[in-house]
Amino acid sequence: MSCIFCRIIAGQAPAEVLYRDDRTIAFRDIHPVAPVHVLIVPIQHFDSLNSLSEEDEALAGHLLVVARRLAEELGVARSGYRLVINTGSEGGQTVFHLHLHLLAGRRMPFAGD
């Protein structure tokens, strides 16, 4: 299995897992760029947001709800947080298994920076 996130999901690579259900896993980013930096990842492998279709709308919504719950549990819901989905090389994507970044704990710059 070549995908690092699929290996984490399969328990074949280590990660600091904060949450897991039948559709989703969330674990801390190995190179955090903020005091809170969690990746919210569908269990099913999608290369990127480009691979998501109408049938996946419930899953897409679920990822957002999981992110919101994690923000509350991590104590940043009120102070604020940012969700990021990098898509494709110019979008900054480096791991080609769809994921949301949950970033918090410091003031974020303008979204386009």
The piece of 18-26, 65-73, 82-90, 92-100 that touches Zn ion (CB under 5 A) is 92-100
Q: Which helix (H) or strand (E) holds 70?
A: helix 57-73
- Interactions with ligand 5GP, residue window 1-60 (CB under 6 A): 4, 15, 27-31, 39
With respect to ligand 5GP, which residue has the nearer C-beta, 18 or 77? 18
C-alpha 35/C-alpha 41 separation (Å) is 19
* Beta strands 36-42 and 17-20, pairing class: unpaired
The yes-or-no answer on residue 37 being catalytic is no
Question: Using the rule CB under 6 A, is 92 a contact of ligand 5GP?
Answer: yes
Tokens of 4: 């690092």
Closest separation in Å from C-beta 62 to Zn ion: 17
Tokens of 7: 């290996």
Question: Using the rule CB under 6 A, is 94 a contact of ligand 5GP?
Answer: yes
Question: Using the rule CB under 5 A, is 43 a contact of Zn ion?
Answer: no
Of residues 20, 37, 45, 68, which one binds Zn ion by CB under 5 A? 45
With respect to ligand 5GP, which residue has the nearer C-beta, 31 or 78? 31
Tell the burial category of 31 from Cβ atoms under 10 Å away from its Cβ (0-12, 13-18, 19+).
exposed
C-alpha 44/C-alpha 78 separation (Å) is 31
Instruction: Give the residue numbers marked as catalytic.
Output: 99
